[in-house]
Amino acid sequence: MKNRPFFWLSILSMIALISIGRLMDQEIKSSQVITPKGYQKAIMALEFAQDTAMINAIFDLPQPSLIREERASRLICSTNFDYLYILVYASFMLLFALQCKRLGAKYLIWAVLCTLTASFADVMENLQLMKIFNLVMTGQEDYSGIFGPLRFWMALKFFSLGAFFLVLGPFFWKSNGLGKGVVVIAAMAMAYWAMACFFKPEFWADALFIMIFLSFAGALLFGLTYKTRRA
């Protein structure tokens, strides 16, 4: 595997991300929260939520306390798994960038900065979501001071994730066709990011998520298949 510098990093990251992702999805499905019109995933609607009406729609409020507590606790559990997910994807990004640097890629400092910013913003976003879940669990509706920071950290997270792949774009582009695909998808993600954050999230948010997901999937497949030339 000496001529496959990303292979083990990619395969181990892929196994961990899929495993943790399934645990998160199971908790979200078990919560039986409502996916609002225009969204394909309830979690994306939560991340883009900007008013009490959206929270009430997602949790189908008002509901008896037992139902509220069950739904909120499921999402809290999913969010706790997300911290492991953040650790895995941030480790993948950081180690991937360092390996790219060894192979001649430039702008390592920017790739590292994007990684740290994305993971930190994701943690801060989760903290805002946790506040919402705890309020729902206790039957309160005072979300003042939550929606603004939630929107900011969500936007910073997705921007930093997309920017990471563009920073390493020159390395991806000159490597092979799959690398070019990663760059194109990351560029599309940034376009969808602007549309989702500043225009119509109910129309563009899921497209943004899909493009970020495909950027990671492309990078993981790139890592599995990339070979260096033997001396």
Residue 218 belongs to some domain of the structure? yes
**pTM (predicted TM-score):** 0.94
pLDDT of residue 231: 47
In this structure, what token pair is assigned to residue 131?
A: 């506040």
Residue 2 belongs to some domain of the structure? no
pLDDT of residue 74: 96
Q: What is the pLDDT of residues 84-107, one digit of tens each?
A: 999 999 999 999 999 999 998 888
Question: How many domains, the chain?
Answer: 1
Residue 228 belongs to some domain of the structure? no
pLDDT of residue 1: 63
Residue 103 belongs to some domain of the structure? yes
Residue 36 belongs to some domain of the structure? yes
DSSP for residue 143: -
Q: What is the pLDDT of residues 104-136, one digit of tens each?
A: 888 899 999 999 999 999 999 999 999 999 999
Residue 230 belongs to some domain of the structure? no
| Cα–Cα distance for residue pair 225/189, rounded to 1 Å | 23
Residue 182 belongs to some domain of the structure? yes
| Cα–Cα distance for residue pair 21/34, rounded to 1 Å | 20
Residue 1 belongs to some domain of the structure? no
Q: Which domain holds residue 148?
A: 7-223
pLDDT of residue 153: 97
pLDDT of residue 35: 92
pLDDT of residue 89: 97
Q: What is the mean pLDDT of each run of 10 residues along the chain (231 residues)?
A: 87 97 95 91 92 92 90 96 97 96 90 97 98 93 91 97 97 94 97 93 92 97 86 47
In this structure, what token pair is assigned to residue 68?
A: 């509220």
